[in-house]
Amino acid sequence: MSISSSDRQLSRRDVLTGGAALAAATVLGGGLLQARPARAATMDDWALPPDIAKAKLEGVDYQSYGMPDSWANYGEVLEELGKSLGITIHHTDTDMSSLEEITKFDAEKDNPVAITSDIGIMFGPLADAKGVVPPYMPPNAAKMPADLKGIHGGWVPTFTGTPGIAVNTDVIKNMPQTWDDLLKPEYKGKVQSVDPSAGGATDVAFFLAWTYAHGGDQDNLGPGVEYAKKLIGQFTAAQATPQTFEKGEVPIQLKHDFNLIAMVRDVKAKGINAEVIIPGVSIYMPSAIMANKYNVAKMNIAKLMLDFVLSDTGQTAFAKFGARPIRAVLGDLELPAEAKANWLPDSMYANVKNLADWSKLNLQEIAETWQDQVAGG
């Protein structure tokens, strides 16, 4: 595997640092006193506060997994972080699921690429168990509940997504108002498919939302199973994308509220009628950002990013996109009205639930339950 751009950048920086030290060497007592070259970062340095000067150099080239600029406004978050440092951050991303990101961090441990990744909160304990996140707890995470951050740091919550429904109302004239409405015969073959066993946080969140909506909870998945067994017959085999939504090929799509808001806004600009609804009982599903323990060459910018996403500026950037930032959901942040311009009405969230303890959610149990009792049932 070739050396990453981040590694090349660090090597050039070390050479320049060593060269400058050599030029400044002083002759003492007839001998040449040569300064030592800069020490390369090690795993032990994760315990130290971020070095701002190094972060400025590291942040110019910022590579990530699963957090494109358009995902909940990460582009603006990174832009604002760059402004705070007086640099321009050039961001490139490779989209992946939460499980793929954790696997990729581990597979690339000898030649790390990404600095950070966005994951569904339920995958945080898996990142801890896999050992891919560093023991660094950013200051702004101090007030976060224990189940919303890594045991020793390394990942912190960012914003929440709430499972909802978008409908192309040029195709679907009778707008569904509840999860149970999706079971009506008129919607057969028109509903986006969901598979919580495939490793995606969004699909797991939908299964949990259905479970809570029908009287269950994270310890009692039975009601969600019974509902999903009925709904699976309504799914379409077509891929759910903004394009298939616009064309009416998948006119009922299931995504987090902030993604639905953005998609509907875009199609309305093209003259297509569409609406978003939070159908009664749903859940707040936090996302998180995790740092790559193995990318020690970029640890200082990673530390700052973990802290910045929980700052007022970072949280407001998420809010502007339509995502409800975690601090606002927890009652720790008052946002100005202009930051909430893209939000759905608060009345739609009257019955949205917070899970009691995300750390106790068993992803393997959910995957096996879906495969054995829903898909296989």
Q: Is 194 exposed, middle or buried (0-12, 13-18, 19+ CB in 10 A)?
A: buried
Q: Where are the domains of the chain?
A: 45-160+286-340, 163-283+347-375
**253: part of which helix (H) or strand (E)?**
strand 252-256
The three state secondary structure string of 155-188 is EEEEEEECEEEEEECCCCCCCCCCCHHHHCHHHC
pLDDT grade, residue 258 (50/70/90)? very high
Average pLDDT over residues 84-104: 96
Fold (topology level) of 45-160+286-340: D-Maltodextrin-Binding Protein; domain 2 (3.40.190)
**Quick one: pLDDT at residue 41?**
87
3-class state of residue 144 by DSSP: coil
Contact between 213 and 219 (Cβ < 8 Å) = no
Say which CATH superfamily domain 163-283+347-375 falls into: Periplasmic binding protein-like II (3.40.190.10)
What per-residue string of b and e applies to 317-348 under the rule 16 or more CB within 10 Å gives b? bbbbbbbbbbbbbbeebebeeebbeebbeeeb
Domains 45-160+286-340 and 163-283+347-375 share a fold: yes
pLDDT tops 60 at residue 165: yes
Q: Determine the Cα–Cα distance for residues 180 and 201; give it in Å rounded to an integer.
A: 22
pLDDT at position 111: 97
pLDDT band at 198 (very low <50, low <70, confident <90, very high): confident
Q: What pLDDT, on the 0 to 100 scale, is given for residue 367?
A: 93
Q: What SS3 class is residue 223?
A: helix
Mean pLDDT of 322-346: 96
Mean pLDDT of the chain: 90
90 beta partners:
61
Residue 38 pLDDT: 64
Mean pLDDT of 89-93: 98
pLDDT in tens, 129-142: 999 999 999 999 99
Tell me: pLDDT of 4 over 80.
no
Q: How confident is the model at residue 200 (pLDDT cuts 50, 70, 90)?
A: confident
Output the CA torsion sign for 98, 206, 339, 307: negative
Antiparallel, parallel or unpaired: β 282-283 and 26-28:
unpaired
> For the segment 354-369, what is each residue's pLDDT rounded down to a tens digit?
998 999 999 999 999 9
Point out which residues pair with 269 in neighbouring strands: none
Average pLDDT over residues 223-246: 97
Average pLDDT over residues 261-285: 96
